[in-house]
Amino acid sequence: MQNNVVNLTKLLAEHKLLAPGVTVSAKINVTGFGYAPVVLEKEGTITSVDDKGINALFEGQKRHAKFEEILTIEGMDIPRFAQAYRIKTKSKKK
């Protein structure tokens, strides 16, 4: 299932639906108390998109997030966002 979501996110980027100004939430690595690494879900605004992921401003800090780290786009989970724009993954016929 996770692989399908990653492929769907890449497809959304190809269709230019992940563009600068779009709000996303993603898993971001931050430093916690005692300098321990912690993964948090943060919301940010996309500044640019490349073939490996997105660059976004998360609480004023520019960070890179891979496609598999993106959780929601514009407040919707990724399959729901794709459905709103009628984007479907290429399915193989059996």
pLDDT of amino acid 3: 84
Give this prediction's pTM.
0.86
pLDDT digits (tens, 9 = 90+) for 47-66: 999 999 999 999 999 999 99
3-state secondary structure of 20: coil
**Which residues have CB under 8 Å from 72's CB, separation 6+?**
24, 25, 78, 81
Lowest mean pLDDT among 51-55, 79-83, 88-92: 88-92
CA dist., res. 38 & res. 89, Å (int): 33
CA dist., res. 93 & res. 48, Å (int): 35
The hierarchical CATH code for the domain 2-84 is: 2.30.30
pLDDT digits (tens, 9 = 90+) for 14-31: 999 999 999 999 999 999
CA dist., res. 48 & res. 35, Å (int): 29
